[in-house]
Chain A
């Protein structure tokens, strides 16, 4: 791991995780060790190998554009902590107060 690696503080902000300071420090130490471990990949001679992102080799899975029975929106919304009609109720996204 190089000196320019982003800090865990920055990464947890990107990941939307607010951690107490002591946990942040412990995670930083573990993070360094895990990244050093996966750095073993740099020794791999990949040559011209193309990346594999999935193994089924299925492409462009389509279905007919028809309405079929499904779980009703209201039923799904009811599993949310806060809802209003068939909408999820969220805190304010911009600004401080809801």
Chain B
């Protein structure tokens, strides 16, 4: 493998500054790596070779003319296909959006471009980000670069596989109920879900709007943090962004000495896999050895998180997916039967099984006579889940949990929708509460990567990333 494709954000920029590397050379190395690797893995839905080369030439000209280089100069980014990039397709993994070329950049994409990145293409996902394996893409499944017989996780599985296989420097994913954190864990990467409201959703194709966030998948905490710092902040185009977001590009105090880390006993009780159990206890031991104080805490609502999530998410998704009726984007409806019949037929034909399930469930849980028992009840439990977290964050700075119940599972082995929903057991509560969380690789006795999840207080993303970086240094994980 060409060593260029393994470079960090910082080392790319340094080589460009020192004229040891040109951006065109770097982009060509990634494109050639994609050509040789991605036929087998299926990470990308669209590779923008021409656009990436043109952006690379423009950056090289700036370097030659002696301009100051932006912070992410030369970073090559892959973008999940539910995030708009002007002029590139955005299918969100669905046939219903085939042929849609969005006329605008998502805010995160515009900010990354301003920071000097090169967009190399769009990555595969479970349809509308509904899934945990990337097998539910309407186009093709993506394979895990660490073991191509296994899934890369999902829904940001294309982004995770692209980073893990060296086909980009970093990638953008989206996380509603774990879709950044779980694929990061399955592919041995760092994946960060920032505090809800700290990163704009403008240009993110909506699934469950009260939980959807955009974040990075990267090979190190430092790379993830640089991307987050570039994309975070208030955006007038997204009224749910917070007015004051302070996300630092540089690490602060990464020492673990004196940090108070809670391990929720309900999460530990939920572990059924020996490798996951061993990895978590090894991580606890290393945290302790590095000077952190690790204590047991309790989150009594833990068992309610997945049922709550699978009421609220389908409710929001059924509303968000109502807009795909063949009028404004994507595939046209058959116009011989009037709008109602034409759009119902189009939706029945072009949505996949999981979107149809969620639309139906959401229609039910929001319907008159049932909303109190399901949707409003779930909203009340959501309050209890937030209160649980608020209570433990009086005692500790951060929480440590597993990411997924098992390491990456074989393709085709989880066919039952309810079994797939159980992938979210350690992840959904964080989403419901809007907290920041990071998945980072931890040592394991097995052959496949295992991740641990660090959870921070709302708005405390800097502390979360400092501790994640400290833990990364204390836990050398072999690649």
Contact = CB atoms under 8 A, between A and B. Distances in A.
B418 A33 contact: yes
A45 to B, nearest CB: 8
A52 to B, nearest CB: 4
B359 A34 contact: no
Contacts of A97: 336, 338
A17 B361 contact: no
B443 to A, nearest CB: 33
Interface stretch (B246-254, B289-297, B303-311): B303-311
A76 to B, nearest CB: 6
A67 interface: no
A95 B387 CA distance: 52
B386 interface: yes
A41 B322 CA distance: 26
Given A53-B379, A55-B458, A91-B335, A81 B239 contact: no
Contacts of B418: 33-34, 37
Contacts of B127: none
Contacts, number: 187
Interface in A10-41: 11-20, 23, 27, 30-31, 33-35, 37-41
A68 to B, nearest CB: 8
B338 A44 contact: no
Contacts of B157: none
B347 A17 contact: yes
B367 A6 contact: yes
A14 B367 contact: yes
Given A35-B364, A56-B240, A58-B240, A40 B303 contact: yes
B331 A81 contact: yes
B412 interface: no
Given A16-B344, A18-B348, A51 B379 contact: yes
Contacts of B197: 55-56, 58
B361 to A, nearest CB: 6
Determine which residue in B103, B240, B242 has the highest number of CB atoms from chain A within 10 A of its CB, and name it: B103
Interface residues of B, number: 77
A50 B458 CA distance: 20
Contact of B310 (A34, A50, A51): A34
A63 B326 CA distance: 32
A58 B459 CA distance: 14
B330 interface: yes
A23 B379 CA distance: 31
A34 B101 CA distance: 35
A56 B242 contact: yes
Majority secondary structure, B binding face:
helix
B329 A41 contact: no
A5 B380 CA distance: 22
A62 B131 CA distance: 35
Contact size class for A?
35 or more
B329 A80 contact: yes
B383 interface: yes
Contacts of B39: none
Contacts of B308: 41
Interface in A80-98: 80-82, 88, 90-98
B359 A81 contact: no
Interface string B314-345: 00001000100111111111011111111111
Interface string B373-400: 1101111111110110000000000000
Interface of B: 100-104, 196-197, 210, 236, 239-240, 242-243, 301, 303-304, 307-308, 310-311, 318, 322, 325-333, 335-345, 347-348, 351, 353, 356-357, 359-365, 367, 370, 373-374, 376-384, 386-387, 417-418, 421, 432-434, 458
22 contacts: A5-B370, A15-B318, A16-B340, A17-B356, A31-B360, A34-B361, A37-B421, A38-B310, A41-B304, A41-B378, A42-B377, A44-B384, A46-B383, A51-B379, A56-B197, A58-B240, A71-B104, A79-B103, A91-B339, A92-B338, A93-B340, A98-B336
Given A16-B347, A55-B386, 13 more contacts: A12-B363, A14-B363, A27-B356, A34-B357, A37-B307, A37-B418, A39-B307, A44-B301, A51-B383, A79-B328, A80-B328, A81-B333, A82-B335
Interface of A: 5-6, 8, 11-20, 23, 27, 30-31, 33-35, 37-42, 44, 46, 49-56, 58, 61, 63, 71, 75-76, 78-82, 88, 90-98
A-B residue pairs, 6 tightest by C-beta: A81-B332, A55-B434, A51-B379, A18-B348, A46-B380, A18-B344
